[in-house]
Chains A and B, each alone.
Chain A
Amino acid sequence: MSIRTEEMTLNMGPQHPSTHGVLRFVIKADGEVMREAIPDVGYLHRSIEKIAEKVGYHGFMPYTDRVDYVSAMFTNQGWAMACERLGGIVVPRRGEYCRVIAAEFNRIASHLLSVGTMGMDIGAMTPFTHAIREREMINDLIEELCGARLTFNYMRIGGVGWDLPPGWREKALAYLDHFDPIWEEYNALISYNKIYVERLANVGVISTQDAIDYNLVGPNLRGSGFKWDIRKDIPYSVYPEFDFDVPVGTGEFGTLGDAMDRYMVRIREMRESSKILRQALNRIPDGPVLAKVPRNFKPKAGECQVRVESSRGDMGWYAVSDGSAYPWRVHVRTGSFAAMGMINKLSRGLMIADLVTLIASLDVIAPEIDR
């Protein structure tokens, strides 16, 4: 005797605790297996690009924090670099170092949140508290540097808003000494846990070709074994002066490009960021941190596109100037949006419980999808 079954339509989100913000999925499920999951984005759309046309070049800087609130240093840097290219401004070397230091601390903090929530989404609560504890210490450092813990507004057109405070460098180096062993401890706590590995390995496998075809960037692309990092391949700022590796997925726990590979890439990137930070903090030159930029900043008419390697991958900032004090058009291209386009394909044939694993492993941030 066969039981007649029918396809069930489920709604997940927008206020689901494991969707990393306001995200909605329409799931067509056959029992516990998904036929497909259709992402429905747009709940956090705040017309950030349009606001830029109204508030001017300097005034848009705090808004860029809100594009990706978990790694606001990179959005700051992207906008600052776009304006500098439009206006032909050269950032002082100490300013560039300050930017790199702040940005790499932010990358560690962002990845800590990512790997922490990864554990929490699949049911491991303790690793989250460990990750958040470390992130809290980075937040304290950044708070001392620029006065805010999340929406930094640290960078300015032509440099950074604040120089490193006295004694901050030693504190930051002391934190890195504390952080490197913590990384091993975190791996012992959760990364090599057999149950954890079984939940992540062979889930949401993205082949290298698919990752390129679907325009994935950052750790999602590198997790599929493709070595592509803007910091190495299209160098910006002072990154060419630092010695660091680009970790890629190896498929050591299952298939190449599965959720575990993307997770391990983030874990290893934190170690690389720590390496960059040590070099930057030890080599930081003296000098000014901010170039002279008029308060009424009016770049010549033209357009530019800059790319920064954010913690969620290649982030593109496109700005068009018509010679007035307000940008004519601004566009942001973010990694999370590309990752959302992949979810429909990846979800076919996946268990419903694995959808949260998939979302967490792609590390999407809702405001970055919608902007």
Chain B
Amino acid sequence: MAKSYFGNIKDAITTIFEGLAVTASHLIRKPYTVQYPDRIPVRVQDTLPIRYRGILEVDLDICTGCLACERACPIDCIVIVVEKDKQTRQMLISQFDIDIAKCMYCGLCSEPCPTGSIHHTTEFEGADFSLESMIRRFVPEPIYAYKPAKGPETDPRIIPILNRGMRYVNEFAQPGSDKPAEKVA
């Protein structure tokens, strides 16, 4: 009885020191913790991968008004109003609202977007004082929807935005093919 009693004490002390040796070996290591937000040379947002699903953003310059994102959203946090302008026969987007308070950052809306107009940014600091201000309204005044040009894009203002959008779209898996979709422009 006494032997096992003291044996237990001996075991406890030796195993505790084995554990403490591991802890001690970590004392001289570089810390793993990254101090947030201002103790690293770059912003945290810039260190995140391209696929990171942060707060949604819309590039209205390349939005085709196809409503694919609105249909894909499982919680209906996207509201788009598109109507046809009778005079010019072009699609007119008069409302594009995303309720960031409702959004669950699933990425199902940016997947079917043909141009990469709606996309997740690496921004994640979305705290605000009222629910109303969490609704991002992207259309200040009605604008014409983007119409893809036949052949390569010619508008020099659109090209960089479209390139960025297509780079985002190409990250998603393309059904049935192992090749990424063809690059636009």
> How far is B179's CA from A94's CA once the two chains are assembled, in angstroms?
13
Q: Which residues of B contact A161 (CB under 8 A)?
A: 107, 111, 172-173
Measured CB to CB, the nearest residue on chain A to B105 is A148
Q: Which residues of A contact B22 (CB under 8 A)?
A: 185, 188-189
A147 touches B173 (CB 8 A): no
> How far is B34's CA from A139's CA once the two chains are assembled, in angstroms?
15
A189 touches B175 (CB 8 A): no
- Indicate with 1 or 0, residue by residue over A139-165, a CB within 8 angstroms of chain B CB atoms: 000011111100101001011111101
> How far is B108's CA from A158's CA once the two chains are assembled, in angstroms?
15
B15 touches A194 (CB 8 A): yes
- Whether B143 sits at the interface, judged by CB under 8 Å, is no
Measured CB to CB, the nearest residue on chain A to B18 is A188
Measured CB to CB, the nearest residue on chain B to A190 is B19
Known: A60-B74, A195-B16, A286-B178. A147 touches B107 (CB 8 A): yes
B178 touches A151 (CB 8 A): no
Q: Which of A107-115, A291-299, A361-369 contacts B (4 or more CB under 8 A)?
A: A291-299
Sorting the interface of chain B by its residue count into under 10, 10 to 19, 20 to 34 or 35 or more gives 35 or more
Q: Which residues of A contact B59 (CB under 8 A)?
A: none
- Indicate with 1 or 0, residue by residue over A157-181, a CB within 8 angstroms of chain B CB atoms: 0111111010000000000000000
- Whether A211 sits at the interface, judged by CB under 8 Å, is no
A153 touches B173 (CB 8 A): no
> How far is B12's CA from A94's CA once the two chains are assembled, in angstroms?
49
- Of B108, B171, B175, which one neighbours A292 at CB under 8 angstroms? B175
Chain B proximity of A69: nearest CB distance (Å): 12
Chain B proximity of A162: nearest CB distance (Å): 6
- Whether A85 sits at the interface, judged by CB under 8 Å, is no
Q: Which of B49-57, B86-94, B133-141, B159-167 contacts A (4 or more CB under 8 A)?
A: B49-57
Chain B proximity of A11: nearest CB distance (Å): 33
Q: Which residues of B contact A67 (CB under 8 A)?
A: none
- Of A144, A160, A165, A193, which one neighbours B15 at CB under 8 angstroms? A193
By a beta-carbon cutoff of 8 Å, the part of chain A in contact with chain B is 55-56, 58-63, 94, 126, 133, 136, 143-148, 151, 153, 156, 158-163, 165, 185, 188-190, 192-195, 198, 286-293, 295
- 23 A–B contacts from the bound complex (CB under 8 Å): A58-B72, A59-B108, A60-B74, A62-B106, A145-B51, A146-B51, A147-B51, A153-B108, A162-B51, A162-B172, A165-B49, A165-B171, A188-B21, A193-B15, A194-B14, A194-B15, A194-B16, A288-B173, A288-B174, A290-B173, A290-B175, A292-B175, A295-B112
By a beta-carbon cutoff of 8 Å, the part of chain B in contact with chain A is 8, 11-12, 14-16, 18-19, 21-23, 32, 48-49, 51-53, 72-75, 104-108, 111-112, 120, 171-178
